[in-house]
Amino acid sequence: MIVVTGATGQLGRRIVEALAARVGAGRVVASARDPGKAQELAALGVEVRHGDYEDPDSLKGAFAGASQVLLVSSNARATGGDTLAQHRRAIEAAREAGVGRVVYTSHMAAGPGSQFPPARDHAATEAMLAESGLRWTALRHGFYGTSGLMMIQEGLGRGIVEAPADGPVSWTAHDDLAAADAAILAEEGRFDGPTPPLTGSEALDFAALAGIASDLLGRPVARTVIPDEDMPARLVARGLPPRAAEMIMGYFHAARAGEFATVDPALTALIGREPRPMREVMRERLMV
C-alpha cells in the first residue's frame, strides 16, 4: 500500500490519480488534512485518511500498513510556520509505522548553500531522511510552471512584467511531475536518494515568458527590470506575507545564479514523452 500525503493539493491530487492508474486504486491511500475535500479521489476507489503534519497522531494512523509513503513537501515557511518541524514529524511517524520507504518531493536546487530558502529546507529534509534509517528517495522537481505564470500574472493585464533581474528556469508542468513521481513509486528500485533533476526541456527567463504571453494574448507584454530593493514592498502591497516576499526575493537571487537553469533528460525518460513546454502551460491558463 502506498500513502500519498497532501492529496488534495495541486500536485498530490495528480500523483494519486496517476498512481491509481498505474498500480490500481486499491493499493493507494490519499492522506489529507481535510478528508472532505478528497471525495473525487474516494470516487476512484482510493481510501482517504486524515493526516496533518501538525498532528503526529493523525500521521501514525494515516501511515499504518504502508509499504511506501510519499511526503509532499510543506510550504509552511511562506506563512510563518516551521516547515522542518512538520517534515520531522512526518518522517518520525513513518518510521514508527514501519514504512519501508519514504519518497519526498524535493527540488532541483536543494542544497544548504542555495539562495532560495525552500531549497535549503529541502536539503535539510533530505539530511533528515538520510539519518532516519529508512529507505528514501528525494524527487528533485523542476520549478513549477504555474509558479512562473503566477509571478508574472499581475503585470499581464497592464502589458508589462516588472521584476528584479532573473535568470533561465527549467519550468516544469505539475502533470509531468505527477506522472514521474507515480512511476518512481510504482518501481521501487528505480532511484535511491536524490533523483536527477526532473525538469522541463527548456530554460526560460521572464523576458522569454513575456514574449510567450505577447504571442498568446495578441498584444505586447514588455519586460522591465526593477531594483531588488523595490520588490519586497510591492509584494507586501499585493497582500503577500513578509515571509513569502522573502522567499520570492530568494527566487530572483537563485535564478540569477543559475540554480534553476539545468535541463535534464530524466523526466522525459520516466514519462516516456517530451515534457509539456511552458508555452502550453501558459496557453492553458491564459486562454480561458
> What is the reported pLDDT for 89?
96
3-class SS at 254?
Answer: helix
- C-alpha of 20 from chain center: 20
Closest of 188, 144, 180 to residue 18, by C-alpha: 180
Q: Return the C-alpha cell found at 149.
A: 505564470
Q: 497522531: which residue's cell?
A: 57
- Dist. CA 267–CA 201, nearest whole Å: 9
Question: pLDDT truncated to tens, each residue of the chain (288 aa)?
Answer: 999 999 999 999 999 999 999 999 999 999 999 999 999 999 999 999 999 999 999 999 999 999 999 999 998 887 888 999 999 999 999 999 999 999 999 999 999 999 999 999 999 999 999 999 999 999 999 999 999 999 999 899 899 999 999 999 999 999 999 999 999 999 987 899 999 999 999 999 999 999 999 999 999 999 999 999 999 998 999 888 888 899 999 999 999 999 999 999 999 999 999 999 999 999 998 875
pTM for the model:
0.95
Beta strand 135-141 with 68-71: parallel, antiparallel or unpaired?
A: unpaired
What is the C-alpha separation between 46 and 231, in angstroms, rounded?
44
Short-list 74, 20, 68, CA closest to 52 = 74
Rounded to whole angstroms, how far apart are CA atoms 184 and 254?
28
Q: Which residue has the cell 474516494?
A: 42
Contacts of residue 35, Cβ cutoff 8 Å, sequence gap at least 6: 48, 49, 50
Of the candidates 28, 69, 33, 29, the residue with the CA atom closest to the CA atom of residue 50: 33
Query: In whole angstroms, what is the distance from residue 87 CA to residue 231 CA?
Result: 30
Q: Is the distance from CB of 245 to CB of 235 less than 8 angstroms?
A: yes
Which helix or strand (DSSP H or E) is residue 195 part of?
A: none
Which domains does the chain show, CATH number per domain? 2-141+174-194 (3.40.50.720)
Asked whether the beta carbons of 251 and 189 are under 8 A apart, the reply is no
Identity (one letter) of the amino acid at 4? V
Neighbour-count burial of 178, counting CB atoms closer than 10 A to its CB (0-12 exposed, 13-18 middle, 19+ buried): buried
